[in-house]
Amino acid sequence: MTFEKFKEKYLAIILSLLIGALNYKFQFSKCIDMEKLADKAIDVSSISFGFLLAVLALLLQTQTPKLDRIKSAGKFGELVGLNRRAVISSSIVAIVSLLYVSINLGLTNFQHNINISILFDSFILITAIYLVIVVYQFLDLFYFLIK
């Protein structure tokens, strides 16, 4: 496996888990308004979900010389696979963020363990960072192939 393939396949998960673990250890999410971050993550993930599905529909329906070149180079499957990962991760981010906001609102009236709060914060950070990296990887490949 080449470094490029390794980076494409595992970079998002490694970086997001690393940042989540660092947050759990050093608790830097205490300095962030995590409820606002979760609220914005819902917006961003919903917008990226719609955008990515629209791009996929255009890719599947368009017949252009550039798209034929992408298919002949064997990159079309890779492009669709990255799109799929990005769409699924945007759905997961939206769901996790909605749960976070709901659970966080429910827990404000109760005394709870700080580790549970940091664990929720870390999970939000992991999913949001994963989404950003996967969408970036898709867009990077997409723009590289269409130029």
Which of 16, 20, 41, 39 lies closest to 29, judged by CA? Answer: 20
Q: In the chain, what's the furthest Cα-to-Cα distance? A: 62
Per the CB < 8 A criterion, the answer to whether 82 and 134 are in contact is yes
Segment among 37-41, 63-67, 119-123 with least mean pLDDT: 63-67
**Cα–Cα distance measured from residue 70 to residue 78, given in angstroms and rounded to the nearest whole number:** 10
- pLDDT tens digit string along 48-91? 999 999 999 988 888 888 888 888 888 888 889 999 999 999 99
Residue 61: Cβ-neighbour burial (10 angstroms; 0-12, 13-18, 19+)? exposed
CA atoms of 131 and 40, how far apart (whole Å): 13
Task: Report d(CA 105, CA 97) in Å as an integer.
Answer: 12
pTM of the model: 0.86
Q: Which residue has the tokens 């791009």?
A: 55
pLDDT at residue 122 in the model: 92
The confidence band for 144, taking pLDDT boundaries of 50, 70 and 90, is confident
The three-point CA angle 86-53-143 to 5° equals: 70
Is CATH 1.20.1300 what the domain over 33-146 is classified as, yes or no?
Answer: yes
With a cut of 80, say whether residue 106 has pLDDT above it. no
Per-domain residue ranges of the chain: 33-146
